[in-house]
């Protein structure tokens, strides 16, 4: 099973597709956003520092992110994994290539800004990692405000507001072109249109994973 790197704007469904890949193929899901939010929740000094950066939609420094990802990858040695949220800069991508063998495929989940804004406005998340969307029938929780999986209360992420979203989306676009070119030149890039239903997207991703 090939390791997967997701490149995607906020709210493109990385988390949802990662959960499906986890269930169907046993992938380990590594979300750098989740790792940072766990650090914030722990109340550590580092958590407090990154919270200020994340809440306004900016990127955390490459050095810190590379440290975090190196530790995580060392811990799961040998098991197939999905990187969700890393790399976000060319520097991160280059360091990742030093860590990984050639054993990965890059999946770019394509979603335009207007559709992403709609998703952000309706998004609710659970601390177990599952995401919901009140603007999408497929993604509404069965009971309002409660996680279908674990029964915990759903919350709105502090950075899921239109102001922070615009900074996050623009950061994404600024950094993505260079990443897309980098992986395209390496013949690693697969583009998937995510303005479709979850199963169709998952089928496309499964085919990419199966063919490689
Ligand atoms: P996400 O959950 O992937 O949308 O990430 C939430 C926030 O965490 C981002 O807006 C960034 O502030 C930060 N972050 C996550 N991954 C990275 C990364 N690879 N490089 C820099 N900042 C990151």
Domains, the chain, in order of start with CATH, read 3-27+80-209 (3.40.50.300)
Each residue of 35-54: b (16+ CB within 10 Å) or e?
bbbebbeeeeeebeebbeeb
- Beta bridge partners, 125, equal 131, 155
pLDDT tens for 86-107 read: 999 999 999 999 988 888 999 9
Pocket of ligand 1 (CB under 6 A): 10, 32-33, 36, 53-54, 57-60, 65, 85-88, 92, 168
pLDDT tens for 16-43 read: 899 999 999 999 999 999 899 999 999 9
- Centroid of ligand 1 to alpha carbon of 4 (angstroms): 17
The CA distance from 94 to 135, in Å, is 37
Q: Which ligand 1 atom sits nearest the alpha carbon of residue 168?
A: 10
pLDDT tens for 106-124 read: 999 999 889 899 888 999 9
Provide the token pair at 137.
Answer: 């029938």
Provide the token pair at 128.
Answer: 């177990």
CB atoms within 10 A of CB 201: 21
Pocket test for ligand 1, best of 47, 54, 87 (most atoms within 8 A of CB): 54
Q: Which residues in the chain belong to E strands, given as ranges?
A: 3-7, 28-31, 81-84, 104-110, 123-125, 131-133, 189-193
Mean pLDDT of the chain: 91
pLDDT tens for 175-205 read: 888 999 999 999 999 999 999 999 999 999 9
């Amino acid at each position: 099973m090939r390791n997967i790197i997701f490149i995607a704007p906020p709210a493109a469904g990385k988390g949802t597709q990662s959960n499906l890949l986890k269930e169907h193929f046993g992938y380990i899901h590594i979300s750098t956003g989740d790792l940072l939010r766990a650090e914030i929740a722990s109340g550590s000094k580092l958590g407090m520092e990154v919270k200020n950066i994340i809440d306004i939609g900016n990127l955390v420094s490459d050095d810190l992110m590379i440290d975090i990802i190196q530790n995580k990858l060392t811990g799961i040695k040998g098991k197939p994994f999905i990187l969700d949220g890393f790399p976000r800069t060319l520097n991160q991508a280059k360091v990742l290539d030093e860590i990984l063998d050639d054993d990965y495929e890059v999946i770019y989940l394509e979603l335009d800004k207007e559709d992403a804004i709609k998703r952000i406005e309706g998004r609710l998340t659970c601390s177990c990692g599952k995401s919901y969307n009140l603007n999408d029938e497929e993604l509404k929780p069965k009971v309002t405000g409660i996680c279908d999986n674990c029964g915990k209360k759903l919350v709105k992420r502090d950075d899921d507001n239109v102001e922070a979203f615009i900074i996050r989306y623009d950061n994404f676009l600024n950094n993505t072109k260079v990443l897309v070119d980098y992986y395209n030149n390496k013949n690693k890039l697969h583009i998937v249109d995510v303005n479709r239903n979850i199963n169709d997207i998952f089928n496309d991703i499964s085919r990419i994973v199966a063919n490689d």
